[in-house]
Amino acid sequence: MQKILIVDDEKKILEVIREYAEFNGFEVSEAENGMDAVKMCQEHDYDMIVMDVMMPKLDGFSAVKEIRKEKDIPVIMLSARSEEFDKLFAFELGVDDYMVKPFSPKELMARINVVLTRRAPVEKETEEMAFDGLKINIPAREVLVDDVPIELTPKEYELLFYLVANKNIALSRDKLLQDIWGYDYFGDDRTIDTHIKNLRNNLGNYRDKIVTLRGIGYKFEA
């Protein structure tokens, strides 16, 4: 049974999400602030976190930062704030989805299943791949550049693994947004370009493995 941690300071929201999640076969744990959520993630493993943004003691954004220092758990953020800036900031942190309150519990369950399904193929990969001095171990979430481990953000890992899994295939920015970020994007494609730039910087001598296709998007050339 997959485990979900719901983090929100509104008891009614906790109750509603718990009811729908348990009905859909999930084991549910609850926290009412970001500080408790961080502690619970340090002590237990979860398959998914549904995290509110505005909470006492520690806000959702800060809690995600702390959790991601130790564990790469999928996160869906909940917030009453619908501004594009807030959404972009959340995705820059590496969250998997962002829902604006008030929201439909049924839609939340659908998004949870989409994120878990999207993550599943990565977890099932068993192959360790090498491209010259660039070595990528997907199940271990390890990337080595000339035998030196590099640290990537959760979204940079996902982006690299997705590009590698679809090597030599042209991928549009819209396709990358849909399959990696999993949300309806309201704005330009700077999010993809920024992550590609950071990813290339981390790959050093192998930055050219990620090729820009003008007017289309990107591909990993192997």
pLDDT category at 51 given cuts 50, 70, 90 is very high
Which range, 28-32, 65-69, 118-122, has the best average confidence (pLDDT)? 28-32
Compute the C-alpha angle 101/76/95, nearest 5°.
125
Q: Domain 3-122, what architecture?
A: 3-Layer(aba) Sandwich (3.40)
pLDDT at 169 over 60: yes
State the pLDDT confidence band at 34, using cuts at 50, 70 and 90: very high
Residue closest to 222 by CA, chosen among 204, 213, 210, 212: 210
Which residue did the predictor score with more confidence, 63 or 184? 63
Over residues 72-78, mean pLDDT: 92
Q: What's the pLDDT score for residue 187?
A: 45
**How confident is the model at residue 200, as a pLDDT?**
95
- Mutual orientation of helices 60-68 and 84-93 as an angle, nearest 10°? 20
Instruction: Judge whether 64 and 51 are in contact, CB under 8 Å.
Output: yes
Write the pLDDT tens digit of every residue in 141-150: 889 999 999 9
What is the residue extent of each domain of the chain? 3-122, 126-220
Residues above pLDDT 70, as percent of the chain: 92
Average pLDDT of the chain to the nearest whole number: 87
Q: Cα–Cα distances in Å, from 100 out to 77, 87, 103?
A: 8, 9, 6
Which of the four pLDDT bands, split at 50, 70 and 90, describes residue 210? very high
CATH class of 126-220: mainly alpha
Q: How confident is the model at residue 42 (pLDDT cuts 50, 70, 90)?
A: very high
Is the pLDDT assigned to residue 189 strictly greater than 70?
no
Three-state secondary structure string covering the chain? CCEEEEECCCHHHHHHHHHHHHHCCCEEEEECCHHHHHHHHHHCCCCEEEEECCCCCCCHHHHHHHHHCCCCCCEEEEECCCCHHHHHHHHHHCCCEEEECCCCHHHHHHHHHHHHHHHHHHHHCCCEEEECCEEEECCCCEEEECCEECCCCHHHHHHHHHHHHCCCCCEEHHHHHHHHHCCCCCCCCHHHHHHHHHHHHHHHHHHHHEEEECCCEEEECC
179 vs 40, higher pLDDT: 40
pLDDT band at residue 49 using 50, 70 and 90 as cut-offs = very high
pLDDT digits (tens, 9 = 90+) for 89-134: 888 888 888 999 999 999 999 889 888 877 665 444 446 789 989 9
Flag whether pLDDT at 74 surpasses 70: yes
Picking from 174, 200, 171, the residue whose alpha carbon sits closest to that of residue 187 is 174
Whole-prediction pTM: 0.60
Is the confidence at residue 216, as pLDDT, over 60? yes
Domains 3-122 and 126-220 share a fold: no
